[in-house]
Amino acid sequence: MRAGLCSLTIFVFMGYNLRAIEISKTYRRDSMKSKMLVPSKELVQDAKAGGYAVGAFNAVNMEAAQAIFAAAEREKSPLIIQVTQTTISYTEPEELAAVIHTLAERTTVPVALHLDHGRSFRLTMRFLKMGFTSVMIDGSLQEDGKTPRSYEENVAVTKKVIEAARSLGVSVEAEIGRLGQIGEDSGIALTDVDEAVKFVEDVKFDGTGIDMLAVAIGTRHGLFKGKPVIRSDRVKELSEALDMPLVMHGGTGVPDEDVRKGIEAGICKVNIDTQIRVAFYDAIRDVVMEKEKEYAAADAAGDPKKYDIRKILAPGRDAMTDAIAEKMRLFGSAGKA
């Protein structure tokens, strides 16, 4: 039933050829076999009721996906695993999605598969075809990820995504206000409460609205320069005015105390990307440095060297798992699955 609606939606909205639709229908039906893949709405609503947040961690490759699932299993934590559209510059997202679906079938915790920062309707539909159970339409910026969209443009594209996603039971996250980006040192504009209330109302399609809202509250993507000023007071105002799960983006580098205050004030989903990549990088750098010494000694002795890259990647994956598990405990989601 769900798969049928999906095909129809894709046909109507994408105008793809029939062969592509058939392939997507089969793929989406198969991907729905995982009992554990749930819409993120269920997870963030539970989090809101329970006063904790669900971590949303970015998977850029197979090792990252494995680390994310391993941490969730270890901590018995509900999970949002997310993929951004920029992944396309590295791999076809369908390939990564296949890995994630396989991991999801084996896990015992509830998992939502989420598109992070979808910037266009067309691209968001591509991820729906892959069996994603949740999408973010980031209408705050144009497709280039830099040029701001007007309020009206943001409303229009968000509404269109809601219209397509709702028939599939896929959750939708939107964004109002603009998050700081890497390299921006000037003050970050916070999400305006009145504008957020209007936005949530304006994007409704036939009574269906968004399931969670990403808000600008002083965080920024990537590593901070200096100490961030996180406005949990603004989170509280937004939460009271909207009564909706709110999302903290740019979770990297936010002090633990600010994360806790944010969650108390109404944050139900925290996005973490850079920090877990740093954990991965630091671990493999150390291994590579050790390997260099080993290889130099082998050269000196005239011995053969083994280039087993698994021995370099595995410690990176383990370090990433530990970093994610620590965040799950901080967010209070550990033990909630």
Q: Which stretch binds ligand G3H (CB under 6 A): 72-80, 125-133, 139-147, 270-278?
A: 270-278
For residue 223, the 8-state DSSP code is P
Helix, strand or coil, per DSSP, at residue 206? coil
Site for ligand G3H in 222-261 (CB under 6 A): 222, 249-252
Give the nearer residue to ligand G3H in terms of CB position, either 200 or 279: 279
For residue 149, the 8-state DSSP code is P
Residue 222 binding result from ligand G3H, Zn ion, none, given CB thresholds of 5 to 8 Å by partner type: ligand G3H
> Nearest distance from residue 35's CB to Zn ion, in Å?
29
d(CA 158, CA 154): 6
Measured over the CA atoms of residue 40, residue 117, residue 68 and residue 59, the dihedral's sign is positive
Residue 126 binding result from ligand G3H, Zn ion, none, given CB thresholds of 5 to 8 Å by partner type: none
- Per DSSP, the residues of 164-204 read HHHTTT-EEEEEES--B-TT--SPPPPPPHHHHHHHHHHT-
Site for Zn ion in 216-255 (CB under 5 A): 249
Whether the CB-CB separation of 320 and 62 falls below 8 Å is answered with: no
Of the residues 46, 116, 144, 282, only one is catalytic, namely: 116
- Is 308 labeled as catalytic in the residue annotation? no
Give the nearer residue to ligand G3H in terms of CB position, either 31 or 275: 275
Helix, strand or coil, per DSSP, at residue 325? helix
Q: Which amino acid is residue 38, in one-letter code?
A: V
Q: If binding is defined by CB under 6 A, does position 117 make contact with ligand G3H?
A: yes
Three-state SS sequence of 69-135 = HHHHHHHCCCEEEEEEHHHHHCCCHHHHHHHHHHHHHHCCCCEEEEEEEECCHHHHHHHHHCCCCEE
d(CA 133, CA 309): 33
Q: If binding is defined by CB under 6 A, does position 272 make contact with ligand G3H?
A: yes
Give the nearer residue to ligand G3H in terms of CB position, either 6 or 283: 283
Q: If binding is defined by CB under 6 A, does position 181 make contact with ligand G3H?
A: no
Q: Which stretch binds ligand G3H (CB under 6 A): 44-52, 104-112, 271-279, 295-303?
A: 271-279
Instruction: Return the residue of 42, 142, 274, 315 that touches ligand G3H, per CB under 6 A.
Output: 274
> Nearest distance from residue 272's CB to ligand G3H, in Å?
5
Give the nearer residue to ligand G3H in terms of CB position, either 221 or 291: 221
- Residues annotated as catalytic (active site), given as ranges: 116
